[in-house]
Amino acid sequence: MKTDNIRALSVRAGRAGDAEALVILDSVARSDGGGRRGSIERWCRDGSVLVADTPAGLVGYCVVEYTFFEQGFVTMLMVAESARGHGVGERLLRAAAASCRTAKLFTSTNLSNHPMQRLLQRVGWPPVGMVHGLDDSDPEVFYLCSCQSTENAE
């Protein structure tokens, strides 16, 4: 990814018209037979998506939902393979925290997902628990945004 595009990166609310571009950048959506595509379309329709936009197009997205014990939860964070390692995920997580409507914002990732764990550590989200049994032999580690302000509490 070109440095100029990263400097010009903005994070904005996703729109229904962004769904196709998000499907193209999402490595799972391109290969899972349509399941993720349906989720992306719903997230865009429901206003749950934040997108990372550059002059060259969308390079990532983040989904925040409020179905996890009525708290904010980052359900999905996806950065285009070509844009990884350039701060896109960090910008999306910070925007998610800033826009969260509840006092707490959680996320989770598999224990095997070391890049996501490093990102969460870098942005100050400590691990707060682990659940076994969701994926065979790969526990889910839960994180809480420690930078979440109480100003966003409902």
Q: Is the pLDDT of residue 148 over 60?
A: no
Q: Can you give the pLDDT at residue 147?
A: 67
Report how many domains make up the chain: 1
CA distances from 39 to 19, 46, 49, 63 (A): 10, 10, 11, 10
pLDDT digits (tens, 9 = 90+) for 123-138: 999 999 999 999 999 9
The CATH number given to whatever domain includes residue 27 is 3.40.630.30
Q: Can you give the pLDDT at residue 9?
A: 94
Task: Assess contact for 109 and 95: CB atoms under 8 A.
Answer: no
Domain, as residue range, for 31: 3-152
CA distances from 17 to 56, 76, 126, 136 (A): 16, 19, 35, 36
| Alpha-carbon span 108 to 142, nearest angstrom | 4
What's the whole-number mean pLDDT along residues 63-85? 95
pTM tops 0.95, yes or no: no
Q: Can you give the pLDDT at residue 92?
A: 98
